[in-house]
Structure 1
Amino acid sequence: MTMTRTFCAATMLAATFIFGAAHAQSVEIKFGLGMPEGDSPEYQALVRFKEYVEFKSNGEMTVRMFPGNQLGSEREMIEMVQQGSLEMTFPADGAMAGFYPPMQVWSIPYIFESAPIAWNVMQSDFADRMREDILATTGIRALAFSQNGFRSFTNNVRPLVTPQDMAGLKIRTMESPVYMTMVNALGATAVPIAGSEVVMALRQGVVDGQENPPAVVFSGGHGEVQDYFTLNEHTFGLHVIIANNDWFTALPQGQQQIIKDAAEMMAVTENLLKTEGDWRYSRRLVEEMGMEIHVSTPEEKAAFKEIAQPPVLTFIRESVGDQVVDDMIAAVEAAKADLYGN
């Protein structure tokens, strides 16, 4: 009788412990995002993250989304993640470069000849080492890299088929030495202007053109005030899915694995949607806004690369050192060999 009572008591205690542990592991993940709620690749990718995490955890983990910069700018949300007041966010490489300067190597002009090459590099040993270095340097855990989109030139003067077509044009850029160096090297004049002022500057003729992915040209209104769009894909934009490391490592291993897997799914979702957006929004720019679009051939891109890449490489090497630049170039060559053969 005593043994039976002891067994029952032990069973109840174990059940109480297991239930209590499960209850203690209930997690709400606050996830900040710059893009507003809608059909953007960023928001749709975050929805997939949320759905995967909540399904795989049997509701033990929930994801609370804060789109549209509700919590602050990208830089402010990175700081919140770093400090622990926000679990996760999804900044672009430009914002991350303020915390981790080697991120600039992803912006080397014409470093990626296609999206599949970039995807391969994002899954490479080089990318793994960079994510480890981000953690060691900043204390931020980078869970995955994803495609923020290829940037290309628009203008109101002429189609840009050769580098010589850039001569004399005033091109709006972000206030970034990488972009300004690239545009000036091509014979145009880089004019840094805030994103909110670009359409007005184009309409008033302050600048002749600008550079952005097709989805931004369409949704941002640039297509309404520009005649020509050359899809030369001069630079690749990166997104980084990041988490507070102390919060992440305190989670049980099973929950960590679910979040890692969800981050990979989020990255794949954005990669595909961003690439699809290139032709989907280009078609709409032609049909709805009357733009003339030229898709650069590999040979035409090579001509731009020959002029634009060297001065930017020099600048980035001086900024972050030779090693990370050489490692990126080697990763790209390995990706091309893996995809297309030697």
Structure 2
Amino acid sequence: MTLKKWLTGSVWVASLLLATTASAATFKVAIGDAAGGTQYELGKVFAEQLKEKSGGSVTADLFPNSQLGDEQDTINDAAMGLLDFSILAINNITPFSPSVAVLTMPYVIQSLEDARTLTQGDVGKELTEKTIRDAGVRIVGWSYSGFRVLTNSKRPVRSLDDLKGLIIRVPKNELMIAFYNALGVNPTPMAWNETFTALQQGVVDGQDNPYITISAMKFDEVQKYITPIRYLFSLEPLVMSEQVFQAQTPEVQAWILEAGQAATEYSYEYIQVTEDNIKQELQAAGMEIVELANNEQDWIDAATTKVWPAFYDSIGGKERLDAVLATLNR
């Protein structure tokens, strides 16, 4: 057999194997949170829908609680084609695709409807294209987890003065670090999978996350006070390795996108019917919800005057933020 014939045959066999793999596959889905949170619910419905649409030929196995690595590790692995899917907090995508940070600018999203409008409209489509270009991953679904609320184990926080001296864990995210710096706090950046132990051992006093995440991670065991700040609506996208996506047949690609959309719609409904119940459960477990004084205006002023201008360039310019606000009729 000539070399040319051997190479031609090898390419044909490789293509056949790829097509076979693409039409009968089991994908791995990394999930940062534990079972019971919105990340897991998104993944569960995505897996169910994918199996149903493919007639059982394409399935997805879920790996919650950072079993496959912390969230920034998993997006890096997905970018390199070493991992199929990851569900992670959007702030952990921004180091790889900075323009996505427009959705994490403090006090831009002020309601669940705002979150849906941005992720499901033209803004979301544009950000999906940019994550493919910049990070090598494709957003195929969105989890809506609610506003991040501040928790701590030391004292009620009703004002900026009450924050003084508290050690607050934040993700390794420049914008979120800048927000707490603007409030007069020196935050402690820390990986998500280290946070519970750090709270338990008193390495840090507090953290912020949505109610449903606090419940899923059992933070009521190590935290006492909740302050319902509304600086950041927690969006947790389902991302897929673009290399893996492009290796699939058009039919499988369509199933993936359809399953992601169905899971997104489910997540939107899920947070509406569960968040109030979770608040009550956390209070019954001994946590105390403390309302902010002055309607959070001091916090908003610090964000809009100190944080926003510092990040205009990274999100694509002030006009980019203005366009997002105009989409929200603000």
Q: Which amino acid aligns with 1:44?
A: E
Q: Which amino acid aligns with 2:253?
A: Q
Provide the rounded CA distance (Å) in 2 between the counterparts of 1:42 and 1:303.
Answer: 31
Q: Which amino acid aligns with 1:145?
A: W
Matches within 5 A, 1:235-274: 235-274=232-271
Residues 25 and 307 of structure 1, relative CA distance in 2, 3 Å threshold:
closer
Are 1:138 and 2:135 an aligned pair? yes
Q: What are the ranges of 5 or more consecutive residues in structure 2 without an aligned counterpart? A: 1-18
Q: Which has the larger radius of gyration?
A: 1
Provide the rounded CA distance (Å) in 2 between the counterparts of 1:178 and 1:321.
Answer: 11
Provide the rounded CA distance (Å) in 1 between the counterparts of 2:153 and 2:214.
Answer: 13
The CA deviation string for residues 296-340 of structure 1, in whole angstroms up to 9 with x for no partner, is 69x71444212223222133224x1543x5324422432347xxx
Partner of 1:326: 319
Give the CA deviation at 1:178. 2.0
1:77 pairs, out of 66, 74, 78, with: 74
The CA deviation string for residues 182-224 of structure 1, in whole angstroms up to 9 with x for no partner, is 2232234434455566566656766553322223333444434
The CA deviation string for residues 233-272 of structure 1, in whole angstroms up to 9 with x for no partner, is 2212222222233442343433322211111122233333
| Secondary structure at the counterpart of residue 82 of structure 2 | coil
Provide the rounded CA distance (Å) in 2 between the counterparts of 1:24 and 1:225.
Answer: 45
Provide the rounded CA distance (Å) in 2 between the counterparts of 1:219 and 1:114.
Answer: 22
Provide the rounded CA distance (Å) in 1 between the counterparts of 2:65 and 2:199.
Answer: 25
Partner of 1:292: 288
Residues 52 and 218 of structure 1, relative CA distance in 2, 3 Å threshold:
closer
Q: Which amino acid aligns with 1:34?
A: I
Provide the rounded CA distance (Å) in 1 between the counterparts of 2:58 and 2:297.
Answer: 48
Matches within 5 A, 1:108-187: 108-156=105-153, 158-187=155-184
Partner of 1:15: none
Q: Which moved more, 1:226-235 or 1:118-127?
A: 226-235
TM-score by length of 1: 0.77
Give the CA deviation at 1:286. 1.1
Residues 225 and 259 of structure 1, relative CA distance in 2, 3 Å threshold:
closer
1:311 pairs, out of 293, 306, 310, with: 306
RMSD: 3.2
Q: What are the ranges of 5 or more consecutive residues in structure 1 without an aligned counterpart? A: 1-21, 338-342
TM-score by length of 2: 0.79
Are 1:217 and 2:234 an aligned pair? no
Provide the rounded CA distance (Å) in 1 between the counterparts of 2:88 and 2:197.
Answer: 26
Percent identical pairs in the alignment equals 26
Partner of 1:105: 102
